[in-house]
Chain A
Amino acid sequence: MVKATTILRRTMLGGAILLALGLGLQPGAPADAANAKRVCVSWRHFQEERWRIDEAGIKSVLGPAGYTYVSADAQGDPQKQMTDVDSLLTSKCDAAIILAQDSKAIVPAIAQGKAAGVPMIAYDVPVDSPDVTFVSFDNVAVGRAMAEGMVKVKNSGNWALIEGDAAMTIINLFRDGQMEILKPLIDKGQIKVVATQNIENWKPDLAQAAMEQILTQTDNKVDAVLAMNDGMATGVTAALAAQKMVGIPLSGQDGDKAALNRIAKGQQTVSVWKNSFLLGQAAAKAAIEMAEGAPVTGTKPFKTPSGQTQPSILLTPIGITRDNLNLVVDGKWISKAELCDGVTENPPAACK
């Protein structure tokens, strides 16, 4: 009896591994158009909503240009990404777009690509190597746009800072951008930072609890909340609601539908929006230029954290406020009905 279950268990485990291998190693796809050039994309974690939009952007450029799109998804595992890049390179790529799970752990894979003579693009996430072209949103500009949107409506008083997961280095870039705008005001004593909290995993429910504690500690003497993304802004809004304080300036990032709706209702001030369709298109255009052996147009030098220089294309994100909500509707990011749901008094122009 014991033996039978053991065997069963092992068979199931074996089956699961085979299945995982089968699902994971798709990049060696059949060479459908034998002569078509191929652009390989190694995704970091495709299962998050936004990458589908990036992918659509990439495909919208590759398809008309007669290029084949090949991809692999590392599912959040830097080790699997090594294998993915290996397999992709073996399947022959004319250019590769790599969205690294880990900026440093990906470097050996970049070295392999260089050895194979494949031009490479570091997409969205910086890669610590001079051998890639960096295509991303300007993350410092994200922080800047956040602070600018806020300062426009409130440039003084007590501010609370709700920051993202401390383990993610990207928050330093966001903070740098925020401080470009806020530092002069803080130094003048116009703005006082009364609390700063990092939120593990950017979780909304933790942001809510943190905001409750900050309001308790300051006896509600908070005039503005600079939150680094819309998910955490959702938690902050719930905490503010319990103190009848909804409506004080509040920032966010990502253009979440719920956050855009809050902006229309006057419950949030700004959400920094990165149109990732455009980012995908920019990367695909650069990839084609590289595959043709042409120089990539419009690059600027970019310094990585360790001081290496690489060519880069950095798109500027947009701070969405009640004055330019029409951009997200025109960009088909959100429908007017979703945006304006529940908007009654003082509707923004986009809801009229």
Chain B
Amino acid sequence: MQASAAIRARIVSDKVAAAAGLDVRLLAMLLVMAAIWVGLNALTGGTFLTPRNLFNLSLQVAVVGMMSCGMVLVIVSRHIDLSVGSQIGFIGVFGALLQNSILPIDGGATWWITVLAMLGAGLMIGFVQGLLVAYGGVPSFVITLGGLLFFRNAAFYINSGITIAPLNKTFQLLGGGLDGTIGALWSWIVCVAAVLAVVVFVWRGARRRTLYGMANRSPAMNVLLIAIWGLCIIGFTAVMNAYQQPRSNIAMGIPIPVLILIGVTVAMSALASKHRFGRHVFAMGGSPENAELAGIDTRRLTVLVFALMGLLCGLASIVVTARLNAGASVTGTMTELNVIAAAVIGGTSLAGGVGTVYGAIVGALIMQSLESGMILMGVATPLQRMVLALVLIAAVWVDMAYRRARMT
């Protein structure tokens, strides 16, 4: 009796939240993350929540974060991509070779030619893997396991395992080093633009809902929503500006990789939930047979999903290589597991059909927070990994229990 009462209470709270236009899962995850942050802050003697550490954290999460956006769509469409870690290793060595040995390293055009080539390489790898999965009929697990082995070894082979450094000066900015931030002024400009975008977005959404005669949020709720988002954006910008360059009082501002991550998250979120492409992916993941009967070209869609994943790997590879200021063949080893874990902690179901991009970002943030926090605390590395493993299992277990409760 008590259990069913609890379930009923949960359903009621779900309904209230839904009426308010909020995502309960996301809210719960954000609460968990807030708890982790407060806990780590206490355990590190107040270091965790300093602007400097939050700045570090935002940079450290960028690579796994942008890849997990793509991984959500891959998993939603009932596939998996195990090759992403090897891809960033291979593309990184390729890009480093290109700018260091083939193009003039100080050339003005070197950085953008390299960027385009690396993005192109990622796109091609994803496209070919997608083709093999969709039209070759080989399970994606096998194809991308092959990709994992192939590209990890290719990363080694194309430069005999020799680390390539240093890289082009402009290219390095994409990694968010000392000069790789946009500074205080531009950070505030981006901040204001983002807040305005939220206002326009909420207002347009409300107008459309009225136009189509759909249930609408109360105006007060809309104002609250704008206020919450606005505060988050302004707070984030303030934190990034509060961190100053070493031995100076020049504000750092938002690092370029973090801007890229935010851009990718917004674009991928919109693609997944607003665009036809995304809806088709979810339809295909929910039931491939039905999707096909409904006239969706599932094969073409599969190729596109993998190509998109590859493109994001190219982007992630640019960031990780630029950040390290070196192309090293072991970069990205085991990263595929972090990316998949981020998506899964973020509520993506390995059975397909369910998942959100922002959930994956929060998942990546939770993992990176724990990892960075434990390094601050000086926890031994094997212990760090064990904690992360337990968090992964706990997150998915709670999520499944929650879903089962909602279904009954």
Q: Which residues of A contact B (CB under 8 A)?
A: 5, 9, 47-49, 52, 166, 195-205, 208-210, 212-214, 216-217, 220, 230-231, 234-235, 237-238, 241-245, 256-259, 261, 342
Contacts and interface: CB of A to CB of B under 8 A. Distances in A.
Interface size class of B (residues with CB under 8 A): 35 or more
A273 to B, nearest CB: 14
B162 A242 contact: no
B376 A204 contact: no
A210 B375 contact: yes
A234 B163 contact: yes
B53 interface: yes
A201 B375 contact: no
Contact of B165 (A49, A202, A258): A258
Interface in B52-79: 52-53, 56, 59-60, 63
A245 B178 CA distance: 11
Contact of B177 (A201, A202, A213, A241): A241
A14 to B, nearest CB: 15
Interface of B: 44, 47, 50, 52-53, 56, 59-60, 63, 137-138, 153, 156, 160-166, 175, 177-178, 245-247, 320, 323-326, 328, 330-334, 371-372, 375-376, 378, 380-382, 385
A241 B156 contact: no
Contact of A208 (B160, B165, B323): B323
A342 B325 CA distance: 15
Contacts of B326: 204, 234, 238, 258
Given A201-B333, A234-B324, A241-B177, A213 B246 contact: no
B381 A166 contact: yes
B246 A5 contact: no
Given A5-B137, A199-B381, A216-B50, A205 B324 contact: yes
Given A231-B330, A234-B165, A258-B163, A241 B375 contact: no
Contacts of B160: 49, 52
A98 to B, nearest CB: 23
Given A197-B381, A205-B324, A209-B60, A257 B163 contact: yes
Given A205-B320, A244-B178, A220 B246 contact: yes
B330 A242 contact: no
A270 B7 CA distance: 63
19 contacts: A47-B153, A49-B161, A198-B382, A201-B330, A204-B328, A208-B323, A209-B371, A209-B372, A210-B375, A213-B372, A214-B375, A216-B47, A216-B56, A234-B165, A234-B328, A238-B175, A241-B325, A244-B245, A258-B166
B324 A208 contact: yes
Contact of A230 (B47, B50, B163): B163
B177 A242 contact: yes
B333 A241 contact: no
B380 A198 contact: yes
B263 to A, nearest CB: 22
Given A204-B326, A217-B47, A243 B381 contact: no
A231 B163 contact: yes
A12 to B, nearest CB: 8
A35 to B, nearest CB: 36
Contacts of B161: 48-49
Contacts of A52: 160
The 3 closest A-B pairs by CB, nearest first: A213-B375, A49-B161, A258-B165
Main secondary structure of the interface of A (DSSP, over half): helix
Main secondary structure of the interface of B (DSSP, over half): loop
Nearest to A8: B137
A238 B381 contact: no
A207 B322 CA distance: 15
A183 to B, nearest CB: 20
B255 to A, nearest CB: 10
A202 B163 CA distance: 13
B151 to A, nearest CB: 14
Contacts of B138: 9
A200 B371 CA distance: 13
A300 to B, nearest CB: 32
A196 B378 contact: yes
A145 B47 CA distance: 35
Nearest to B164: A258
A115 B330 CA distance: 40
Contacts of B246: 220, 243-245
A47 B177 contact: no
A332 B306 CA distance: 44
Given A201-B330, A216-B56, 7 more contacts: A200-B385, A204-B324, A204-B330, A205-B332, A208-B324, A212-B60, A217-B376
Contacts of A197: 375, 381
B267 to A, nearest CB: 25
A209 B323 CA distance: 10
A256 B178 contact: no
A81 to B, nearest CB: 19
B369 to A, nearest CB: 12
A293 to B, nearest CB: 39
Nearest to B378: A195
A237 B162 CA distance: 17
Most buried by B among A198, A216, A258, A342: A216
Given A216-B47, A234-B163, A243-B246, A204 B331 contact: yes
A216 B382 contact: no
A231 B165 CA distance: 11
A200 B334 contact: yes
A284 to B, nearest CB: 23
A213 B376 contact: yes
A319 B52 CA distance: 36
